[in-house]
Amino acid sequence: MKSTSPQLVIENKQPNFTWVDGLVLLTLFGMLWSVMHFGQGMLVAFDPASVPELDFSTSQIPYYAGRTLLRMWIAFCFSLFFAISLGYLAAKNNAARAVILPALDVLQSVPVLGFLSATVAGFMALFPGSLLGIECAAIFAIFTGQVWNMAFGFYHSMVTIPNDMQEAASTYGLTRWQRFRTVELPASAHSLIWNSMMSFGGGWFFVAQSEAISVMNKDIKLPGLGSYMASAIEKGDNHAALLAVAAMLFLILMSDQLIWRPMLVWADKFKIELTESGLTPTSWVYNLLRGTYVFTWLGLNAWQPLADALGQTIRRIKPAAKRVRPGAINWPLRMAGLVLTAWLGYEAIIGVFAAIAALHGALTVPVVGHIFWLGFLTLLRVLAMTVLATIIWTPIGVWIGFHPKAARFAQPLAQIGASFPVNMTFPVVVGLFVATNTSMNWGSILLIAMGTQWYILFNVIAGAMAIPNEMKEVARIYGLRKWQLWRTLILPAIFPFWVTGACTAAGGAWNASIVAEYATWGDTTLKADGLGAFIAEVTKSGDTALIIVSIAVMSLFVVAMNKLVWRRLYGFAERRFRLD
């Protein structure tokens, strides 16, 4: 039986070794060397009693950049692993889901600095006399800035895999591993990579916070761009600060261009819809690398045998497994889950009791009341930022969204804006505030917006781009003008996107307030009345009870805002303004 349709000849072109392959190989070896080189610096001896000064010479900047980058990647690898594990568990197991989803919700709202203060002592005890303990704490802090969002994303794409794709996997008797490898991971790849890119971008924001740690009233500065910047800020050194900013921008740009853009373009083939979509991202690096010999060879001779071997091993451990239907119960796994949950619950209770013991007697009602008042002030700032950014960026975002050429440039730029650490703007901003006599109570709104407004911008762009052409044409035919057009078409259409953007921005704003409400430059310190500034101060002075309470209060505000405002707006947007 032969097909009668036109013959489609697909040339099976054997890729040849070219100069690109040489470049790729060089890069791979370079990366390997860098990891070893920069990694060595993590293992040096360290004594908290005598903290060495950071070498402040300009020539050290490339080395510091390398250390920072390595930290980011280590944290990211852990995030990826945990996000996939947590998301997978939550999607597959009802009991696990009942624990994981609410836990993620709460953990997501705890400011990154909170994790840092809570864990640094533990990590130092784990590796006594080595810098590795502090490195771990810093990496853990970056990890906590990335992982929750990625886990949610992975969970969401797992549960939205079309049912028939899962059923096909069941009828063909795929093992759990095969199902994960052929169906679930590819189906989630696009969203996982997109989320990774966003989280990694957010990670830059925290890397600056996490490299300069205060423990036991001592400032510890890990070698890295963030602490170099911190030193420059302390000294008020314009030249050094400028160099650090340039280096940071360079790192962010390079990561975007060399890693994330190509990954995103590659992930386009994992989109589930079978039709070709409109605007696809492009990447010059991807075009260069596509079909190179090295990657083809690695895929064929390294990845596939590895994955097959892993599959074989799993099959050997659990031989002749019955074909499982989706949702079937696995008893050993369930028992393991129960034990794990019990242990986690036990730890959590112990932790809560320890916290209560630490707080006992150390706090008075007025102090807690004051902290809540400060939280309220910061809440006002977060809301002000959201409103201002919405007013400013909505028209601009819509304009960009209606002009695809502009969108192609603006979206990556907004992403870079979102990754740029706030404290790197202090050299300019603090001077400006002092010169213009701006009160930090107002000025900090601007600083908070610096890192968070972009989420609103690029979601509005995405929303404007998603408006179907027919709807715009209808509006033109009936001659809708200005405000009419906005009210009947544009605002409802972008509303769901705006909610996503504003929710992310507001969540980030709480985190940012810790940096943005407490700005220093040389001897000048500008401080706003707010919970962020309060947390920054108490972590500096190392008052455990106040740290715990202030961070708990901030988490409470974030959770409450999510539940009372954003969740409802999501529901409303979903019901009323979905475009299909």
Partner 1 sequence: MPIAELRAVNKSFITAGGHELKVLEQIDLAVHEGELLALLGQSGSGKSTILRCLTGLIEPTSGRVLHKGETLHGINEDASVVFQTFALYPWLTVEQNVAVGLMAHQVSRAERDTAVDRAIELIGLGNYHAAYPRELSGGMRQRVGIARALVSQPRLLCLDEAFSALDVLTAENLRQELISLWRSPDTGLSSIFMVTHSISEAVEMATRIVVLFPRPGRLGLVLENSLPYPRDEKSPEFQRLVSLIHECITTTTLPDIPAEAPIAGQPISRARNRMESIPLVPVGQILGLLSILHDSPELSNIYDISDEIGKEFGETIALVKAAEILGLVETPKQEVLFTELGKRFVAADRETRHAIFAEQVFKLRLFHIIIALLEEYEEVDSARVIKDIGSALPYDNPEKTFQTMIAWGRYAGLMDFNAKTGMVFLPKNEDAAEDAS
Residues that bind partner 1 (CB under 8 A): 1-3, 5, 7-10, 12, 162, 164-165, 167-175, 178, 182-183, 186-187, 189, 269-276, 322-325, 328
Find the shortest distance in angstroms from Cβ 172 to partner 1: 5
The secondary structure of residue 424, as a DSSP letter, is: G
HSE-up of residue 515 (Cα within 13 Å, Cβ side): 31
SS3 content of the chain, % helix, strand, coil (to 5): 80, 5, 20
Q: Compare residues 186 and 236 and give the one whose CB is closer to partner 1.
A: 186
The secondary structure of residue 14, as a DSSP letter, is: P
The tokens for 41 are: 């610096």
Find the shortest distance in angstroms from Cβ 322 to partner 1: 4
Q: Compare residues 34 and 178 and give the one whose CB is closer to partner 1.
A: 178
Q: Compare residues 473 and 574 and give the one whose CB is closer to partner 1.
A: 574
Q: Compare residues 259 and 272 and give the one whose CB is closer to partner 1.
A: 272
- For residues 313 and 306, what is the distance between their CA atoms, to the nearest angstrom? 10
Find the shortest distance in angstroms from Cβ 354 to partner 1: 42
Q: Compare residues 109 and 292 and give the one whose CB is closer to partner 1.
A: 292
Q: Compare residues 50 and 163 and give the one whose CB is closer to partner 1.
A: 163
Residue 569, number of CB atoms within 10 A of its CB: 17
Find the shortest distance in angstroms from Cβ 572 to partner 1: 10
Q: Compare residues 16 and 275 and give the one whose CB is closer to partner 1.
A: 275
Find the shortest distance in angstroms from Cβ 271 to partner 1: 7
Strand, coil or helix: 520: strand
- For residues 135 and 481, what is the distance between their CA atoms, to the nearest angstrom? 58
Residue with tokens 């990754």: 419
Which residues 6+ apart lie within 8 Å of 364 measured at CB?
none
CA dihedral 91, 94, 96, 101 (to 10 degrees): 70
Find the shortest distance in angstroms from Cβ 279 to partner 1: 17
Dihedral pair phi/psi, residue 518, rounded to 5°: -140, 85
HSE-up of residue 180 (Cα within 13 Å, Cβ side): 16
- For residues 527 and 531, what is the distance between their CA atoms, to the nearest angstrom? 11
Contact 555, 106 (CB under 8 A): yes
Find the shortest distance in angstroms from Cβ 502 to partner 1: 23
Q: Compare residues 122 and 327 and give the one whose CB is closer to partner 1.
A: 327
- For residues 319 and 316, what is the distance between their CA atoms, to the nearest angstrom? 5
Contact 68, 225 (CB under 8 A): yes
Find the shortest distance in angstroms from Cβ 168 to partner 1: 4
Residue 528, number of CB atoms within 10 A of its CB: 26
The tokens for 119 are: 């864990």
- Tell me the chain's radius of gyration from C-alpha atoms: 26
Find the shortest distance in angstroms from Cβ 571 to partner 1: 12
Q: Compare residues 186 and 431 and give the one whose CB is closer to partner 1.
A: 186
Cross-strand partners of 85: none
Strands (E), 176-273: 212-215, 218-221
Find the shortest distance in angstroms from Cβ 546 to partner 1: 47
Q: Compare residues 10 and 391 and give the one whose CB is closer to partner 1.
A: 10
